[in-house]
């Protein structure tokens, strides 16, 4: 039997995008890659998304907070919508089941 590879608690919730190397495809990305590269001076000269997030969190936390808050709010609204949709589907299913049982009795 093959053993599964151990995963740390830190890795469980980690977004794989954070490890992606950022290619300077436009002026903004080029500037960010250059800025973060100069600040962190990575050994392999490659800047990842996680490095950019790290620098932004240190130097422009207001920006990341707004993005995080907006993401949380959108997720919360989506969850409420999903709950309502599920509740309505359950009610419809129960109504159809009750109608079918009533039809069988008649």
Q: Are residues 71 and 81 in the same domain?
A: yes
2 lies in a domain? no
pLDDT at site 7: 58
pLDDT at site 103: 80
Q: Are residues 32 and 45 in the same domain?
A: yes
Compute the average pLDDT of residues 22-36.
94
Residue 45 makes CB contacts below 8 A (sequence gap 6+) with: 37
Residue 57 has pLDDT above 60, yes or no: yes
pLDDT tens for residues 42-51? 999 999 999 9
Compute the average pLDDT of residues 58-81.
92
Domain range for 79 = 61-106
Encoding tokens for residue 14?
Answer: 């980690």
Q: What is the DSSP string of the chain?
A: -PPPPP--HHHHT--GGGGSBPP--SHHHHHHHHHHHHHH--TTS--BHHHHHHHHHHH-HHHHHHHHHHHHHHHHHHHHHHHHHHHHHHHHHHHHHHHHHHHHH-
pLDDT at site 84: 94
């Amino acid at each position: 039997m093959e053993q599964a590879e151990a995963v740390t608690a830190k890795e469980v919730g980690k977004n794989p995008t954070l490890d992606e190397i950022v290619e300077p495809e436009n002026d903004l990305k080029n500037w960010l890659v250059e800025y973060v590269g100069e600040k962190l001076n990575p050994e392999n000269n490659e800047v990842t998304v996680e490095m950019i997030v790290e620098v932004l969190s240190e130097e422009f936390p207001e920006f990341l907070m707004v993005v995080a808050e907006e993401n949380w709010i959108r997720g919360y609204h989506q969850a409420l919508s999903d709950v309502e949709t599920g509740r309505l589907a359950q009610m419809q299913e129960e109504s159809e089941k009750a109608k079918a049982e009533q039809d069988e009795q008649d």
